Amino acid sequence: MKINNFIYILLTAYLATFLRLTINNNFLISIIGSFLVGFLISKRLSNSIEKILLSGFFSCFTSFSGFIYFLYKILDQGEWIKFIIFFNLIIIVNLFTMLFGFLISRKIT
């Protein structure tokens, strides 16, 4: 991979982190990120642009650690049923949101 691509990945990661801190809502971020990932994967992007967006931007924007921290706070309170519901709900909603973004992108083009 070229050095320019590393720089672009760093810049997009910085932008994604800034946006994540600005929005400050894990659920909303995961929905927006899932929709946009679904939208983008339906496009035929070059390998380097795909790596820059998916590895740089979306890995920082929709960070897994935010999801895990949210679930940890529920578990720490001892609410197992709420944990199981939220865990499954978040994954299912994000998968369908990603599929929706994918389908919308296909309809547009």
| Domain parsing of the chain, residue ranges | 3-108
Position 18, amino acid: F
**63 within 8 A of 20, measured Cβ to Cβ:** yes
How far is Cα 20 from Cα 58, in angstroms, rounded to an integer? 10
State the virtual CA torsion across 44, 38, 49, 109 in degrees, nearest 10. 40
pLDDT by residue (tens digit) across 54-85? 888 888 888 777 778 888 999 999 999 999 99
Residue 35 pLDDT exceeds 90: yes
**pLDDT tier at 26 (50, 70, 90 boundaries)?**
confident
**5 within 8 A of 48, measured Cβ to Cβ:** yes
Q: Please tell me the pTM assigned to this model.
A: 0.82
pLDDT at 1: 62
Longest dimension (CA), the chain: 48
17-46: burial string, b at 16+ Cβ within 10 Å, e else: eeebeeeeebeebbbbbbbbbbbbbbeeee
